[in-house]
Amino acid sequence: MQQQLSNYIKKKITISEEELSVILSYFKPLKQKKNDFLLEQGQVSQRTFFVGKGCLRIFFINEEGKDATRYIAFEDQFATALVSFITELPSTEFIQAIEPSELLYINHQDFRHLMETIPQWNQFYCKYLEKAYVNNTNRLMSFTTLSALERYNQLLKVNPTVVKRLPNKIVASYINVSQETLSRLKSKS
């Protein structure tokens, strides 16, 4: 999995093998069973996870008491409760393994240490934050400008893995529709 993370980092930034080796030394392996929680609401997010195998879901409980999935991370993606990770305040989100998962993680302190000691890690983090901002903005815009069918079709186009690998309950939560509506949308596509 270290090689998988190494390849991912090298795709994002230009970095020396020595600096890359230092970065990788801070990541530790972690295996999670299906449905295990890595973070619960109210805890401070102290880790950022890289998915080697499996899938993580970041979600919160909306005002109606239902799951609202904000982000899904499959292989070769990072995941954390970013607001809590940045602010070091209690999270309003949960992080859950929704498949048996093999992860690498780095804790907050080590992450910040790398930012102070390896300038390229700052560049990597900047690209990560930019991507997160664009993804979140596009998702928010889709909820206000697209119909349920358009959101479903967009998901099929942009990230079909979500529909192929995950249960309808989570897919529905991700595009902000009921499971019944999702069933109707699938029959129309």
User: How many percent of the chain have pLDDT more than 70?
Assistant: 99
Q: What is the pLDDT of residues 1-41, one digit of tens each?
A: 899 999 999 999 999 999 999 999 999 999 999 999 999 99
**Single pTM value for the model:** 0.91
> 117 falls in which pLDDT band (50, 70, 90)?
very high
The CATH homologous superfamily of the domain defined by 2-114? Jelly Rolls (2.60.120.10)
pLDDT value, residue 64: 84
- pLDDT digits over 30-62, tens only? 999 999 999 999 999 999 999 999 999 999 998
Q: What is the pLDDT of residue 189?
A: 66
HEC assignment per residue over the chain: CHHHHHHHHHHHCCCCHHHHHHHHHCCEEEEECCCCEEECCCCECCEEEEEEECCEEEEEECCCCCEEEEEEECCCCEECCHHHHHHCCECCCEEEECCCEEEEEEEHHHHHHHHHHCHHHHHHHHHHHHHHHHHHHHHHHHHHHCCHHHHHHHHHHHCHHHHHHCCHHHHHHHHCCCHHHHHHHHHHC
Domains in the chain: boundaries: 2-114
* Averaged confidence pLDDT in the chain: 93
What pLDDT does residue 185 have? 86
